[in-house]
Amino acid sequence: MAGFVDKPEPVQVPGLVHLHTGKVRDLYQNPAGELVMVASDRVSVYDWVLPTEIPDKGRILTQLSLWWFDKLNDLVPSHVLSTEVPEGAPADWEGRTMVCRRLSMVPVECVARGYLTGSGLREYEQDRTVCGLALLLSGVVFADRIGKMDPCLFSAQRGEQRAFFFLLHRRRKKKQRLWK
């Protein structure tokens, strides 16, 4: 189960069509068919959006993303076309807006696990594995560090109609289709 404590109403901007309100970002389409992504100050914890916001969080997320897109531009181009705020948009959108080209989404995300919580804990309690990998420790409990190494990075697939992730690993018992 996931969702908003109080789901916000989308901002109405002339010339933009609201497409989606996510946990942190709002998505619009401009008249040219480009996507306008606006990062909010909302806080998401374990797939729940809390009512209290962090001031300027959206600006920081956007600037951090732009920094990485710039650093990686020689390796892979990004989807960002501009950071221009659309005409008629609230002044608050300054510094938190990215105008982007449409791309085909690959519904795979990454999960970093360093401590035993959430779905990793449930899997460990049931199978003594985390992301399908045997955990060779005994007596591990909630929030214990997973091993003595650095955190592990696992891929995850967003459920098509669910707000949680399926954990993927090489030794999965059941084959799952990754994309349409």
List pLDDT tens digits, range 70-82: 999 999 999 999 9
Angstrom distance (rounded) from CA 93 to CA 152: 36
Sequence ranges of the domains in the chain: 3-100, 108-167
Q: Is the pTM of this model over 0.75?
A: no
Angstrom distance (rounded) from CA 175 to CA 6: 37
Mean pLDDT estimate for the chain: 81
- The answer on pLDDT for 162 being more than 50 is no
CATH classification (class only), 3-100: alpha beta
